[in-house]
Chains A and B, each alone.
Chain A
Amino acid sequence: MNRTSRLATTVMYAATIVVVAALLLPFVWVIFGSFKTQAEFMSDPGAWFPRGFPVQNYVDLFVEEGFGRYFLNSAIVSAVAVSANVLLSSMAGYALAKLDFRGKNLIFSVVIFAWIVPYVAIFVPQFLIIVQLGLVDTLAGIIAPILVSPLSVFIMRQFAYSMPNELLEAARVDGAGEGRLFFGIFLPLSGPAIATIAILSFLGSWNSFLWPLIVAQSQGTFTLPVALAVASQASNTTEFGLLLAGAVVVLLPVLILFLFLQRYFIQGVATAGLK
C-alpha cells in the first residue's frame, strides 16, 4: 500500500513537471533567443543557448527601433486606465451595492450587457465614434473606451455587498455625506477588491492589441504590442533576436508584477473567466 502510493506520487510529480515544463518552454525560447545574434540564428538555428549574453538586441530595440517611446505610450495608457478604473468602477460598483435608488436593476442589466458584448462586434462603430470625437491617432483615443470596465464594476459590486451595512449606516446617522462615506469609509476598506481591479485593468490595457492597432496610425502613438506586431510583420521572420527582445520587453512588467501579486492575478483572472 505504502509503496504503491509512493509510486503514484512519483508518477504524479513527473506528470506535473512534464506538463508545466512544456508550458514554460516558450519562455525559455524567448529569453535565450533574445540574446542571440543574427549570425547565430543563421548558422545554428537549433541551438538552445546563446553563445553569450550580449545586450545588443535590447540596445538596438531602444536606440534604433524607438521602443522607449512605445514603452512610454504603453505605460501612460496603463497608468491612466488603472487609475480611472480603480476610481470610476469602484464608484459605480459601490452605488449599485450600497445606495438605494430607483433604476438600480436596470443599470445592473446594463453592466451585464456591456460585459458580454463580443468586442469584435463593436470595434468598427467604436472607431467611427473616435473619428467623430477627433481622437484618432491619440493616446486619449486608445484610453477612452477603457476608462471603466463592466467587469471591474461587477467585482466592486460583489465586494461591496459582502461589506456590512452597519458602518455606513452609523456614519450616515452621524450626518456624513455620501462622498464622505465612499472616500472615507468604503474605499479604505476595499484593498483586496481594488487590487483585483487594478491588476485586471493593468493586464487588459497593457496587453490590449486590437484597439490600439486600429486607433494608432503613426509611430508616435504606437503602444508596445502594436509596435511589436508591426515589426514582426515587416521583418517577416528575419530578425528574431530583435523581435524576441521586444517580446521580453512587453512581457517583463507583467511578469514582475505577477511575481509579487500572484494571488490577486489568479483571483482576478479567474473572476474575469466567469465572463
Chain B
Amino acid sequence: MTTTPEGRAPSHSSGARGSPRRPRARSSVVRRSQTRAAWLFLAPFLLVTAVFTAIPVLAALGMSLTDLTSRDIRTPLAVEFVGLENFVDVLTDVAFQRSMLNTAMFVLLCVPLNLALGLALALLLNRGIRRLRTFFRAAAYLPVITNIVAAAVIWQYAFAPRGPVNAALENLGTGGLNWLGEPPSAVAAIVMLGVWRNVGTCMVLFLAGLQSIPESVYEAAAVDGASAPRRFWSITLPLLQPTTLLVTVLMTVSFLSIFEEPYLLTAGGPLGSTRSIALWVYEQFGFGNTAASMAGSFILIAFVSVVAVVQFRFLRGKN
C-alpha cells in the first residue's frame, strides 16, 4: 500500500498517448461522458461528506462564536453572536487548563513508550527471530483490533481492588493499590491501556520501515567490522528516521484526542486527574454548554492541525 497522497501523473495523459490519432470530436465526447460518470460516481461520497463532515465543521465554528446552549437547539437562530468570548472563557477555565495539562501528560508518556516498545518489537521480528515470526506479529497486533469498550471492561477487572493485578502484587509481597481510585495510578492504568492498544500499530509501521533498508548496507558494514550496536546507531536509526517521524506524528495526534480510555476507565477522575481535552468537550456538550464545547473542540483542532501540518510537510518531502 503506497504512502503518498499523490500517486502518478493524471490518467488523461496516458489515455491520449494510447490513441494519438483519435479524432478530436470523439475524444471530447469520451471526456464529456467521463465527466458525467465521475460526478455520478462521486455523488454519494460528496453527499455524505457534505452533510456529515463539511457542514458540521462550519456549524461547529459558527456555534463556537455564539452563546448557544442545549436549550436553544430548537431555535438556533435566536442565539447571539459573542465573538471570541467562548474561547477566552474556555482558555481561562481551570478545568480546561487541567485537561490540557492531562492531555500533554498522556502524550508525553504514551508516545515515547509506544515508539520504544514498537521499535523494539519490530527489530526483534525483523531480524532477531525467524521461527513463529508471523505468529508473534499477529499476537502483538491483536490489541489494535480490540474493541475499546471490551478493553476497558477487561482493564477495570484487572485493576479492580480485588482483581488479578493486585492479587499478583500481593503474592509478590507488596500491597495492592486502589488503581483507578488514586490519581497517579489511574493515570498509569490509562497509559498502560493506551500503550497496549497502540504498540501493534507502531510495530507494523516500523517493520515496514525496516524492510525498506537494503540488506547490502548491513553487509557492507559487517565487512568493515561494525558491531551490532554500532550498526543500529549508525545505520538502522538514521535510515529509519522518516518512519520514526511518521509514527511520532501519528501517535501524537492519536493521544492528543484521547477520549475513550479515560471516559470508560475513570470518567476523568479521580479529581479530574485523567480528564482529557476531548473528554472535557464531551462533558460540556452533555452539560448543555454547546458553544463552550465547540470552542474547546476548536482549540483541540488547533493542536492537532499543528501536528498535521508537520505530517503533511513530511509526506510531501517524501514524495
Query: Residues of A at under 8 Å CB distance from B?
Result: 9, 12-13, 15-16, 19-20, 23-24, 26-27, 29-30, 33, 41, 45-48, 88-89, 91-92, 94-102, 104, 107-108, 110-114, 116-126, 128-129, 131, 144-145, 147-148, 150, 153-155, 157-158, 161-162, 165-166, 169, 172-173, 177-179, 182, 196, 203, 206-207, 209-210, 224-226, 228-229, 232-233, 237, 240, 243-244, 246-248, 250-251, 254-255, 258, 262, 265-267, 269-271, 273-275
Contact = CB atoms under 8 A, between A and B. Distances in A.
14 contacts: A13-B128, A16-B129, A27-B142, A33-B157, A41-B162, A45-B167, A99-B35, A101-B38, A110-B49, A154-B5, A162-B7, A203-B145, A240-B157, A266-B138
B216 interface: no
Contact of B35 (A46, A101, A118, A255): A101
A124 B60 contact: yes
B61 to A, nearest CB: 9
Nearest to A100: B12
Interface string B105-132: 0000000000001001100110011000
Contacts of A119: 257
Contact of B46 (A19, A48, A107, A155): A107
B112 to A, nearest CB: 16
Contact of A46 (B2, B12, B49, B170): B170
Q: Which 8 A-B pairs have the closest CB atoms?
A: A46-B167, A178-B37, A125-B56, A45-B162, A12-B128, A247-B150, A161-B7, A92-B45
A122 B35 CA distance: 31
A165 B301 contact: no
Contact of A24 (B1, B56, B142, B149): B142
Nearest to A240: B157
Nearest to A89: B45
Given A228-B149, A247-B147, A266-B141, 17 more contacts: A9-B129, A16-B129, A45-B163, A95-B41, A101-B38, A117-B57, A118-B257, A118-B304, A122-B53, A122-B56, A124-B285, A126-B52, A178-B36, A210-B259, A240-B160, A262-B141, A270-B1
B149 A250 contact: yes
A157 B45 CA distance: 13
A252 B63 CA distance: 41
B164 A102 contact: no
Interface in B274-309: 278, 281-282, 285, 290, 293-294, 297-298, 300-301, 304, 308
Contacts of A274: 3, 246, 250
A129 B55 contact: yes
B131 to A, nearest CB: 8
Contact of B164 (A48, A89, A124): A48
Contact of A144 (B18, B52, B125, B162): B52
A241 to B, nearest CB: 10
Interface in B136-160: 136-158, 160
B199 interface: yes
A120 B204 contact: no
Contacts of B259: 120, 210
Main secondary structure of the interface of A (DSSP, over half): helix
B204 A266 contact: yes
B59 to A, nearest CB: 4
Contacts of A224: 147
B281 A120 contact: yes
B75 interface: no
Contacts of A144: 48, 51-52
Interface of B: 1-3, 5, 7-8, 10-12, 14-15, 18-19, 30-31, 33-39, 41-42, 44-46, 48-49, 51-57, 59-60, 63, 73, 117, 120-121, 124-125, 128-129, 134, 136-158, 160, 162-164, 166-168, 170-171, 196, 199-201, 204-205, 208, 246, 250, 253, 257, 259-260, 264, 267, 278, 281-282, 285, 290, 293-294, 297-298, 300-301, 304, 308
B19 A99 contact: no
B148 A225 contact: yes
B15 A246 contact: no
B7 A158 contact: yes
A3 to B, nearest CB: 15
Contacts of B3: 274
Contacts of B19: 169, 173
Central interface residue in A27, A116, A118, A255, by most chain B CB within 10 Å: A118
Nearest to A178: B37
A33 B159 CA distance: 13
Contacts of A182: 41
A270 B124 contact: no
A223 B86 CA distance: 35
